[in-house]
Structure 1
């Protein structure tokens, strides 16, 4: 688990889980799986994305980072995923 982004509006945490079975080819790391948890602090909702949606999210973030974005620009990008958020934020 790694905190990637934290603003007044959003938090993004990356989760990676390594495969329990190593790759049989030398020098090739085992497969990993995981995704991103995105939290909307004001709406108090969250979403966990994985697979193709997570890959698309990461590609968009990578492209955005190349432009040295402001916090407002990053928040605007992350807010695109707010409409998908259905899970209420529960603190434990």
Structure 2
């Protein structure tokens, strides 16, 4: 898990897939192909909701991050882009 962005309004975390199974569980279960996936969690601090992007959504968001790395955006540009994902945020943030 890597924190990518943290502001007064948003937090963006890159959730990395654990591609290294431990040897004890590997010996106990037969080898079954698993899809290694990663995703991004975007938390809207203003509404207290979060959205998890995976699959094609994560790939599109990854492209946005790469574009930001090439052309350093202003904080306002980043916030405007993240604000576009707020409509997808349905899950309340629960601290546990």
| Greater C-alpha radius of gyration | 2
TM surpasses 0.5? yes
Show the counterpart of 2:29: none
Find runs of 4+ consecutive structure 1 residues off by over 4 angstroms: none
Partners of 1:16 and 1:58 in 2: CA distance:
12
Unaligned runs of 5+ in 2: 22-34
Show CA shifts across 1:17-72 (max 9, x none): 13357xxxxxxxxx741100100000100011101000001112211332211111
Partners of 1:18 and 1:88 in 2: CA distance:
25
- RMSD, matched Cα: 1.6
Between Structure 1 and Structure 2, the one with more strand by share is: 1
TM-score by length of 2: 0.78
Unaligned runs of 5+ in 1: 22-30
